[in-house]
Structure 1
Amino acid sequence: MSNEPIELQAALATFTDLWSPRIVTRVNDYDVRIAKVEGEHVWHAHDDTDEFFLVLDGELDISLREGDGASAAERTVTLPRGAVFVVPRGVEHRPSSSGGASILMFEPTGTLSVGDRHETVPSHVDVTTGHALAGRHGTAR
């Protein structure tokens, strides 16, 4: 990881893959990841960790299933640019963006982008734990 400032817009300009996070830096045992998203991701949950979202550009919807089984209630939160939201551990959720968005996520290193519980993973979803950010992305001058 770099010990120089990282300009997020420059880092986002280095890739076009959707739902394929890039690791910008690490803080203790946590990854700071950025991603470009459009359309729907998969329903998933993280059993052992919360998931932090910050919308850098665009708008992100996060559908949530709260409760168990047949009594689970669904709701959707909409995050405009600059908004943050934390999905609590164990809550099933599905991020989506009809117009596209750029997001920053903060989660433990090794956390799968499709969570711990999911049925099938569409072929367009990159199931890695994030890719290293390529190149140098210092502060814009």
Structure 2
Amino acid sequence: MTDITKPATAVNIEAKLALFAEQWAPHRIAGINDYDVKIAKVQGEFVWHTHEATDELFLVVSGLLTIQLRDGDVVLGPGEIYVVPKGVEHCPRAEEETAILMLEPAGTVNTGSAGGPRTREPVPLD
């Protein structure tokens, strides 16, 4: 939600990424309507999961991200986006530390249908 009592300021993604080191932990940097704009640092392989009710947008800020899909992988570099359609099983993976931005409805669980120890609530940085 936008707080109209705060002065208007731009969000610097690089500055927000510098505030944390933990990987695979989403951080909320903004909201738009009923959506969260989240960033994360990732390395290694996540978990295979689906989001039955929503699409999920990934934008690579730095590094390389592979979105593994059952019918073929999508490799993203800086400035590239991919939208995983709702209900499609996927597993993000990064060989080196990669910074990503995600756009999805507020309340979307990062591990989708899989749950487990990597499930995290987004940490607000907005």
Please give the TM-score of this superposition, normalised by the length of structure 1: 0.81
Q: Indicate whether 1:28 and 2:25 are aligned.
A: no
Q: Deviations over 1:52-88 (max 9, x none)?
A: 00000000000112xxxxxxxx311100111100000
Q: Indicate whether 1:130 and 2:119 are aligned.
A: no
What is the correspondence of 1:33-44 to structure 2 with a 5 Å cutoff? 33-44=38-49
**Identical aligned pairs, as a percentage?**
43
Q: SS of the residue aligned with 1:75?
A: coil
> What's the RMSD between the two structures over aligned residues?
1.4
Q: Deviations over 1:75-121 (max 9, x none)?
A: 11100111100000000000000112000000000000001x21x62
**Count of residue pairs brought into register by the alignment:** 121
**Structure 1 letter corresponding to 2:110:** S
Deviation for aligned residue 1:42? 0.3
**Structure 2 letter corresponding to 1:110:** G
Deviation for aligned residue 1:15? 0.2
2:100 maps to: 103
- Structure 2 residue ranges without an equivalent (≥5): none
Q: SS of the residue aligned with 1:62?
A: strand
CA contact (8 A) 1:51 1:106 kept: yes
- Structure 1 residue ranges without an equivalent (≥5): 66-73, 135-141
* Bigger radius of gyration among the two: 1
2:23 maps to: 18
Residues of 1 paired with 2:120 and 2:44: CA distance?
19
1:81 maps to: 78
Please give the TM-score of this superposition, normalised by the length of structure 2: 0.90
Residues of 1 paired with 2:69 and 2:48: CA distance?
9
